[in-house]
Structure 1
Amino acid sequence: MLTMRVGGSWSKARPASARPAALPWDGTTALVVEAQAAWRRAVGHDLEAAAGWSAVPSRDRASVQGWGQAGAADCEQLAGLWGAVPAKDCGVVGRWDHTIRPRDVRLRLIYNPMPARKDVQVGCPSRRVDDYGPRRNAAAAVQASLYVPGPGPLAFNFGGRPYFPPTSPLVFFSFQYMPPAPRIQPVDSSSRVRWQDARRLNAQARLPWGRARVLDGPLTGIEYVDYPGPVKPLPEPPTDPTILDTYMIANTVNLVVLPSRTPIEAKNVRIGLDADSFSWKFSADIFTKAALDLVAPGEDGAKEIELDINGWTWVLLVEGYSRQLKFPTEAYSIKGATRTQLLASPYAPLRTGLNAAPITARQAATEQLLFTGFSIVWDAETVGPADWTFPAGALSYQSQTAMQVIARIAETVGAVVRPARAADELEVRPRYPVPPWEWGQIDAPIDRIIPPAMMTALGGEWTPQPAWNACYVSGTSHGVSMLVRRAGTAGDNPAPDVFDDWITGQEANRARGVHELSKGGNIEIVGVSIPLFPFADDHGVGLVLPAQLCRVPEESGAWVGLCLAVDIAAEGTGASRVQQQLRLERHF
């Protein structure tokens, strides 16, 4: 926009004053300045005309006396008239609150017009953005709207410098351009891509679709003409024990103090483990006060001892002792547990944790054993239980020991924590390796075979449960809900619903549902007593551990039971008698 402002008159100049200038816009000559004398101050006779506005004549001043001070009598009469405002005037005060009249409001709207009707319907001062309009280039719009002088009198040349008008010119030019403000155009309006936090995956260590499940097992290499698919070999069953008329076992029971390996004479040694415990429990009686001083806990904590029964070895912590002195006899007893007790109270510190990133259950259990010297065995691909993922913020615990957290993780999917006998190691495995309705199949994973000829005692207790065939399993804040139904049934007899904060994956839902269904049905708890065969004896039963499946080939029919607990008792001294007492869960 070009703006011109001229400070002088533009009337036609007289011939005597007209002179050509060197340039059309050159400075004004002295002769033109003289022509501006018509705009100088008025002559003296104009000033005389101002006398009409002089002071008021003297006759007017005389009238001022009419406004003099009132007399004293007038003041006394009028003094009471200007007292306090009557009460009726107080009620008129409210009339001055609303000073704006409707006509004033209309006048105000002239200088502040209301938005257009379409904006009033929207209800907000902002308008809709230009979602799908053509893209605009602000720099190109400014460049296109610039004024470019053409050939003629008005030819500007700034010499590559910006133009700044003088401080007080007669004529100046304004090159300012105010482009219209276009509506906002979102950059990604047409793509409609949702932006959210990316998932944190370690692509080098873990496949995005999880670990593969071993279904067919190792191939046998056998080729069949009419079957092109893979062949799954049957699992190798345990070796059948040798049935003899008489079994001669020379039992050995040795108890030594570590690390000096000083032997201790003991009697009535008992050690056992059940499926719900994470350490072997031990107790024994010793004879002398000197032996007690070797194993009694002191300032350095619990003492370690090693127990060997027929070649089966345990490393134990002596946690406490008791003594009874009665003349002329004395009796001492000690008790303890395996080293996995160090991960629990009162040895392990309490912890509070919350996962900030997704983590698997196996990683969470392994993390609890950092800097403890212990390790964990979790074969999720072949033995089980299945592994699952905790989303960020799902694995939360407060004031828990490391063993409590690991046991809680295992319990979430119906698994147990089985400790090692003489090593700093834990094993997580399902309580039911396979559901009870699959125990009679030929490919059931049988761990031990217990022939009746080796039993020294057999008993049972009938404990029936409802025959559940469905279970609803769900997480709380995270995870999914799943109805686990036994295949081939209608699912019309559901077990109690299960809700767990740490069930955050479908694998966990299925494993927990199968575990709950496995606890139902007609159940008998069978008690079996068998000898503890030596460790190197391949013809005997060996040591039976909890969560192992055992087949009992009775004459009436073979059946399979799940080991719930094992207790080993070595009674007497010297050539003591060693018995292995088992509790088996049998399903009908």
Structure 2
Amino acid sequence: MQARGDWQKAKPQDKQQAAQWQESAPVDLALAARYGQGLARDVRNIEPWGKGVELDRITQGVWDYSQFFADSISALPWDNSTNARGANDRRAVGSWFYSGVKLTPTISGLYAPPGSTAAEFDLTGSYAPPGAGSAVFDLSVTIQAAAEGDPIQALDNRLGMPWGSPPPNDVTLPSPWGEGIAVAGKAPPISWEVEPGDPLKPAPTITIKNAYLLMNHINLKTTADNTPLKFGGFSVSMDIDSFGYQFSATLLNQASYDKVMTAADPVDVELNINGHALNFMIEGGQESDGDNLKAWSVKGTSRSQLLGPPYAELLSDTNTGTIDAKGYIQSLLVGSGFTLEWPTGLASSAVTWNIPAGVLSYVDKSAMGVLRMLADSIGAVIVPDLSQDKIKVQPRWTMKPWALYDNNPDVLVHESMTVESSNQYEPAPAYDKIYVAGENHGVIAEVYRADTGGVSTAPDITDPLLTDSTANIQRGTQALAEYQKMRRVGLKVLVLESGGPGIIYPGQIIEQQHGDSAKDWRGLVLANTISVGSDGVDLYQNLIIARPV
């Protein structure tokens, strides 16, 4: 069975009621946050960036990405161009620009029903326009180059950067503001202060003779009860880089050996050499018996060793507030029985400086270990006092090696007082400028020799304890001193009871004088070894001296 129905004529639609595309309502720009000029901040109190707070970008009131279509009722072809306020990619938006093209629609022909006001569509067969007419729909557009002078099209770049969390900054290495440095080849904007010299020290005196008649007086006794110890030869070794001087001796009987070796603690002894008293403590010894001949030997060190391991308590600390370097060491020595000699205020003295909170930090160090850490940071050395429980902090070079004649020396030795000498040349790079800096705190100091102007730069020095310009300058000065060409001179000198230099200590500036003053020279005492044989006759101090050339 077949069912058949005829196609009916479609009813005309009311085009006036057809729903048309409408322009969407723009988002209120009043809620958009704009960039503006930031407020001036005091960079001295500025805080480092931290992690930003995450912002919810979903709720932003910005323009959406919709596209808008032209209304066909205007008899123009469809236009897919982007609305000026529409789909702008906020992540890649640029600033103002010239449009490269201009769209000019060209209408080739619009559909017009022939002879009637309505278009009839008969779908019972193939469609054929009535009569000989034809329906032509031409929706093409012609793109023409924009003419010169066409207006520019503005993109709103105020919305071109979405809000988000800023990347975190590394706040572990802040670079605080500090003093600037001079630009090479240009005059500094401010006058540079030249380090002032010290007042003249008292000039040492000696008695020069053609010949010296010596009768050495050497005694060794216990300090507590003045018990004499019978001994033969001895040796004392002192070095500028050691805070403990060494002592050894040969004893001549069992009683003397037992006196210093059977006590519960190290026994203090006093060695007197031609009126010069030196104090040591005996730490160990050895007893031997060979071929029916007994021998005893002992060894010890200066009492300054009590401030270091293994005698001193190990400490750990981190300063919680600003401290003064000298004052901090004095606090560590409270109750130790030792006094600290740390003169300041002179070019020849070691500086003291402020150390900010958290900079001085150490674990398991003795009081001497902490002192050495601070002294090393400024190029200073520790000199034990062998006559009393006292230690002294001073620059390694109390006078600059290129300016040793700006003041009087500490000690004089005439060539008639020496019996032997040696000389070894020690080359060094001719650096005369160096940059010295702290790490997390402090400043950068450019230190150079005033007599040469600083033309050759040494490798930089950094130290976490260099937190003040005075400390940086002293460290730089001592570093440049080590780049001075030197001769290492050895002198074997008499130990005179009077009229001579007496015991010569490391760290002293020495001058050797000659019959011809043109041959005189000065240098820094690096080491001294005093020794005598069992006969007590050949008593000399053997000096090692750094002589600038």
Tell me if the contact between 2:204 and 2:409 (Cα under 8 Å) persists in the aligned partners: yes
Distance of 2:420 and 2:248 partners within structure 1: 23
Cα distance 1:450–1:502, how it changes in 2: closer, same or farther (>3 A)? same
Residues 235-250 of structure 1 mapped to structure 2, 5 A cutoff:
235-239=201-205, 241-250=206-215
**In the alignment, which of 514, 517, 525 is matched to residue 563 of structure 1?**
525
Tell me if the contact between 1:463 and 1:523 (Cα under 8 Å) persists in the aligned partners: yes
Match of 1:409 in 2: 374
Tell me if the contact between 1:465 and 1:520 (Cα under 8 Å) persists in the aligned partners: yes
Distance of 2:519 and 2:538 partners within structure 1: 31
Tell me if the contact between 1:214 and 1:381 (Cα under 8 Å) persists in the aligned partners: no
* Structure (1 or 2) with the greater helix fraction: 1
Cα distance 1:235–1:342, how it changes in 2: closer, same or farther (>3 A)? closer
Distance of 1:326 and 1:316 partners within structure 2: 29
Greater alpha carbon shift after TM alignment, 348-357 vs 555-564? 555-564
SS at match of 2:259: helix
Match of 2:504 in 1: 544
Distance of 2:226 and 2:239 partners within structure 1: 29
Distance of 2:201 and 2:334 partners within structure 1: 35
Give CA-to-partner distance per residue, 1:6-50, whole Å, 9 cap, x none.
xxxxxxxxxxxxxxxxxxxxxxxxxxxxxxxxxxxxxxxxxxxxx
Match of 1:337 in 2: 301
**In the alignment, which of 469, 484, 494 is matched to residue 531 of structure 1?**
494
Distance of 1:508 and 1:336 partners within structure 2: 35
Match of 2:364 in 1: 399
Tell me if the contact between 1:297 and 1:303 (Cα under 8 Å) persists in the aligned partners: no
Instruction: Give how far 1:323 is off.
Output: 2.2
Give CA-to-partner distance per residue, 1:107-149, whole Å, 9 cap, x none.
xxxxxxxx975335478899xxxxxxxxxxxxxxxxxxxxxxx
SS at match of 1:336: strand
Distance of 1:295 and 1:324 partners within structure 2: 16
Tell me if the contact between 1:318 and 1:337 (Cα under 8 Å) persists in the aligned partners: yes
Distance of 1:274 and 1:413 partners within structure 2: 19
SS at match of 2:298: strand
Match of 2:337 in 1: 373
Q: Does 1:577 align with 2:538?
A: yes
Aligned length: 367
Tell me if the contact between 2:200 and 2:407 (Cα under 8 Å) persists in the aligned partners: no
SS at match of 1:306: strand
Q: Does 1:514 align with 2:444?
A: no
Instruction: Give how far 1:415 is off.
Output: 0.9
Match of 2:164 in 1: none
Structure 2 counterpart of 1:288, which letter? N
Tell me if the contact between 1:253 and 1:570 (Cα under 8 Å) persists in the aligned partners: no
Match of 2:250 in 1: 285
Distance of 2:350 and 2:222 partners within structure 1: 37
Distance of 2:407 and 2:370 partners within structure 1: 31
Match of 2:287 in 1: 323
Match of 2:183 in 1: none
Match of 1:586 in 2: 547
Structure 2 counterpart of 1:401, which letter? S
Structure 1 counterpart of 2:224, which letter? P
Cα distance 1:350–1:281, how it changes in 2: closer, same or farther (>3 A)? same
Distance of 2:506 and 2:415 partners within structure 1: 20
Distance of 2:31 and 2:257 partners within structure 1: 94
Distance of 1:234 and 1:321 partners within structure 2: 46
Cα distance 1:456–1:434, how it changes in 2: closer, same or farther (>3 A)? same
Q: Does 1:473 align with 2:436?
A: yes
Tell me if the contact between 1:281 and 1:338 (Cα under 8 Å) persists in the aligned partners: yes
Tell me if the contact between 1:297 and 1:320 (Cα under 8 Å) persists in the aligned partners: no
Distance of 1:492 and 1:246 partners within structure 2: 49
Give CA-to-partner distance per residue, 1:508-530, whole Å, 9 cap, x none.
11001010110113211100011
Tell me if the contact between 1:386 and 1:508 (Cα under 8 Å) persists in the aligned partners: yes
Instruction: Give how far 1:496 is off.
Output: 2.1
SS at match of 1:278: coil
**In the alignment, which of 266, 274, 278 is matched to residue 239 of structure 2?**
274
Q: Does 1:489 align with 2:452?
A: yes
Match of 1:422 in 2: 387
Tell me if the contact between 2:526 and 2:545 (Cα under 8 Å) persists in the aligned partners: yes
Instruction: Give how far 1:315 is off.
Output: 1.9
Cα distance 1:445–1:411, how it changes in 2: closer, same or farther (>3 A)? farther
SS at match of 1:450: strand
Match of 1:64 in 2: none
Aligned sequence identity (%)? 30
Q: RMSD in angstroms over aligned alpha carbons?
A: 2.4
Give CA-to-partner distance per residue, 1:260-313, whole Å, 9 cap, x none.
211111111111211111122100011222221110154x22111111111111
Match of 2:31 in 1: 119
Distance of 2:466 and 2:338 partners within structure 1: 26
SS at match of 1:409: helix
Structure 2 counterpart of 1:389, which letter? N
Match of 2:419 in 1: 456
SS at match of 2:473: helix
Structure 2 counterpart of 1:521, which letter? Q
Cα distance 1:216–1:121, how it changes in 2: closer, same or farther (>3 A)? closer
Give CA-to-partner distance per residue, 1:56-114, whole Å, 9 cap, x none.
xxxxxxxxxxxxxxxxxxxxxxxxxxxxxxxxxxxxxxxxxxxxxxxxxxxxxxxxxxx
Distance of 1:559 and 1:422 partners within structure 2: 29
Q: Please, which runs of 5 or more residues in structure 1 have no aligned partner?
A: 1-114, 127-212, 218-232
Match of 2:121 in 1: none
Give CA-to-partner distance per residue, 1:421-441, whole Å, 9 cap, x none.
12111100111012111013x
Give CA-to-partner distance per residue, 1:158-184, whole Å, 9 cap, x none.
xxxxxxxxxxxxxxxxxxxxxxxxxxx
SS at match of 1:394: coil
Structure 1 counterpart of 2:441, which letter? H
SS at match of 1:407: helix
Cα distance 1:216–1:490, how it changes in 2: closer, same or farther (>3 A)? closer
SS at match of 2:304: helix
Larger Rg: 1
Distance of 2:486 and 2:361 partners within structure 1: 36
TM-score, normalised to structure 1, is: 0.59
Tell me if the contact between 2:200 and 2:408 (Cα under 8 Å) persists in the aligned partners: no
Instruction: Give how far 1:501 is off.
Output: 1.4
Distance of 1:453 and 1:502 partners within structure 2: 46
Tell me if the contact between 1:297 and 1:318 (Cα under 8 Å) persists in the aligned partners: no
**In the alignment, which of 272, 277, 281 is matched to residue 308 of structure 1?**
272
Distance of 1:467 and 1:290 partners within structure 2: 58
Tell me if the contact between 1:467 and 1:493 (Cα under 8 Å) persists in the aligned partners: yes
Instruction: Give how far 1:578 is off.
Output: 1.6
Distance of 2:512 and 2:197 partners within structure 1: 28
Instruction: Give how far 1:249 is off.
Output: 2.0
Match of 2:143 in 1: none
Structure 2 counterpart of 1:404, which letter? G
Distance of 1:325 and 1:511 partners within structure 2: 54
Instruction: Give how far 1:215 is off.
Output: 5.0
Tell me if the contact between 1:550 and 1:562 (Cα under 8 Å) persists in the aligned partners: yes
Distance of 1:302 and 1:314 partners within structure 2: 16
Cα distance 1:474–1:306, how it changes in 2: closer, same or farther (>3 A)? same
**In the alignment, which of 431, 435, 446 is matched to residue 400 of structure 2?**
435
